[in-house]
Amino acid sequence: MKQEEIKILKQEIRQLIKKLTSEIAQMEESAAPVAPENSIGRISRMDAINNKSVVEASLRNRRKKLAKLQVALSKVDNPGFGQCKNCKQSINPKRLMLMPESDRCIKCA
């Protein structure tokens, strides 16, 4: 990758990390346990529990992506960054801009 591409990629990764951190904080509030003493109906409670499960799954996915982005940011200056870990070919810079956490090329993914 060219230095200019790396600079742009770093900015993109930092923006994504900031955005995910904010989303995670908001989702953690939504994933709070449903208190049984709240006077909502049975169906509403079941719906709230179901929604909580959906939010928790989404929260797990965002945390995983955040961790991958942090690893990518720490490795972006390494000489081997941007190479597929399977075939050792260069990963298309457009793919890295779209998915900076990618460690495989399109063929190997």
Position 23 in a domain: yes
Residue 106 lies in a domain: no
pTM for this one? 0.77
pLDDT attached to residue 38: 57
Q: How many domains does the chain have?
A: 1
Task: In whole angstroms, give the CA distance from residue 17 to residue 23.
Answer: 10
pLDDT at 39: 59
Decide if 39 is inside a domain.
yes
Residues of the chain with pLDDT under 70: 34-42
Give the domain range for residue 56: 3-79
* pLDDT score at 37: 61
Does residue 44 fall inside a structural domain?
yes
Say if residues 16 and 100 touch (Cβ distance below 8 Å).
yes
Asked if residue 47 belongs to a domain, the reply is: yes
61 assigned to some structural domain: yes
Q: Which residues contact 85 (CB under 8 A, 6 or more apart)?
A: 103, 104, 108
Chain-centroid distance, C-alpha 14: 12
Q: Is 95 part of a structural domain of the chain? A: no
Residue 97 covered by a domain:
no
CB 66 within 8 Å of CB 18: no
